Amino acid sequence: MSDYDLVIAGGTVVTPAEMFIADVGVKDGKVAAIGFNLRGLRSIDANGLLVMPGGIDSHCHIEQLQEGGGADEETFITGSTAALAGGTTSVVTFSTQFKGGGILQPLADYWRRAEQAMVDYTFHQIITDATDAVIFDEIPQVAAAGIRSLKVFLTYDPLHLDDRQFIRVLAAARRNKMLVTVHCENYEAINWRTAALLADGRTAPKYHAWARPAMIEREATHRAIALAEMVDQPIQVFHVSCPEVAEEIARAKARGLKVWGETCPQYFVLSADHMDRPGFEGAKFMCSPAPRDAAASEGLWTCIRDGVLDIVSSDHSGWSYETPAGKRVNGVDAPFRDIPNGVPGLGSRLAIMFDQAVSKGRMDACAFVRLIATNPAKLFGLYPRKGTIAPGTDADIVLWDPTKSVTLTNALAQHIIDYTPYEGMDVTGWPVMTIRRGQVVMQDGRVQAEPGSGQFLAREPYDLIKPTGNVPNGFDASAFLV
């Protein structure tokens, strides 16, 4: 008799806390038991493999709506394919707002697109125009729909918010039990340096990094933290590029503030030098904040070990290199200012980080699991349904061969973007099977899942993002609709 629909037999189960050899029994899409000699209708031999929670990519841009119509090239189907190929089973993507418009209509349009997903999904709601209607009327409806995180940009035309608008978003999040995620770079400083660089004829992709040095990321991070402290609103600083910025988060954490930090694979394996390739080639590596240097990359490991940075997400962002609407939308001679930012990395996030973290001996597989699955689940209100392997959790599992060496190529990434910035990089450790809610959806690189088989992950209010209760003078200004 079979007690389980599926048994993953004899692998090394990796949880955020420990590693042990056991069988995992799956029933009705959930982990039902961890033990020995479990019997299932189907059994998968995981001997010699790591059995880890499916990755959660809590920051990726998939089919994001564009102003004037249309959407990013990466669709929910192609993005899901890349995710599942790379061992990621859940994503958090972005519903956006266009200045002068509301958030509910684009959210409805975006949600319809997301229903094609083959991974489980939820959204961050981007706020680019903090009008009374958005702040007092629409954000409460977004929260009620189960979307518990907002995203704001402190730079980028036409997305950026000024401090007053940012404070209003923080207060709205506090009232509606949401987390605020922040893109921290100083808008005016970037514009000023950009103008000077262009005036000096320095237009090539490498000057992208010159326009946005680390201190302008640090300044915005400091400001975001100070304003969040004033409102008593938890925040997560997105895509921290270097230790100098992470120091601001470390100081906030040391003072007991609810501030968390995310970084991305590109800040470990790319540097500003990549943007100095001949001709237009450097555009392939342009993202914001800009990758720094080898010392900064190495320093990020200390930030992770010290618990200052909590998450590694991809910030997957799709602009093909050869297509007219991609990186070269303004021509191959466009100044760096006019080249779209972002690098693809949804499918390669786990492989790069496993190689860097575990295969290169910087940390064990439990710590890796925390970075790519458990902490994203906890910080975005998906835990314990997602992010670990234990009885009652969704059976989102990646079987991982820790000894398999692979040279990364764009074809292996399985996204729609026509290049990967990681082309030719050697990694050790590779996903051989992905299981989503008990169903095998990737085996040996072949993704097999029905469009629309991903589920929307509605998020209830959760304890981690409760305010601390400390506001200046004991006066909670967020209670007033100003």
Binding mask 296-325 for ligand DUC (x = CB under 6 A): -------------------x-x--------
Find which of ligand DUC, Zn ion, none residue 233 binds, CB within 5 to 8 Å per kind. Answer: none
Provide the 10 A C-beta neighbour count for residue 374. Answer: 26
Tokens of residue 252, six digits: 């906030």
Of 287, 312, 412, 449, the one binding ligand DUC by CB under 6 A:
287
Handedness of CA 226, 227, 228, 232 (dihedral sign): positive
The binder of 388, among ligand DUC, Zn ion, none, by C-beta within 5 to 8 A per type, is none
160 binds Zn ion (CB under 5 A): no
Question: Rounded to whole angstroms, how far apart are CA atoms 115 and 97?
Answer: 19
Q: Are 97 and 82 in contact (CB under 8 A)?
A: no
- x/- map, 156-185, ligand DUC, by CB under 6 A: ---------------------------x--
Which parts of 222-281 interact with ligand DUC (CB under 6 A)? none
User: How far is the C-alpha of 406 from the C-alpha of 412, rounded, in Å?
Assistant: 10
Check binding of 282 to ligand DUC (CB under 6 A).
no
Out of 78, 95, 131, 288, which residue is the one contacting ligand DUC (CB under 6 A)? Answer: 288
Establish if 151 lies at the interface with Zn ion (CB under 5 A). Answer: no
Among ligand DUC, Zn ion, none, residue 27 binds (CB under 5-8 Å by kind): none
Q: How far is the CB of 470 from ligand DUC (least distance, A)?
A: 30
Q: Binding to Zn ion by residue 183, rule CB under 5 A?
A: yes
**Cβ atoms of 78 and 416 closer than 8 Å:** yes
Amino acid at 433: M
297 — phi, psi (to 5°)?
Answer: -60, -50
Give the residue with the Cβ less far from ligand DUC, 271 or 288.
288
Residue closer to ligand DUC (CB basis): 341 or 453: 341
Residue 164 and residue 231 in contact, taking contact as beta carbons nearer than 8 Å? no
Instruction: Give the long-range contacts of residues 17-25, CB within 8 A, separation 24 or more.
Output: 17/366, 18/366, 19/50, 19/364, 19/365, 19/366, 24/51, 24/389, 24/395, 24/397
Instruction: Please report whether residue 232 would count as binding Zn ion according to CB under 5 A.
Output: no
Give the distance between the most distant pair of CA atoms in the chain.
77
315 is a site residue for Zn ion (CB under 5 A): yes
The binder of 231, among Zn ion, ligand DUC, none, by C-beta within 5 to 8 A per type, is: none
Contact code string over 55-84 relative to ligand DUC, x by CB under 6 A: ------x-----------------------
Can you read off the two tokens belonging to residue 197?
Answer: 């660089």
Which positions lie near Zn ion, rule CB under 5 A?
Answer: 183, 315
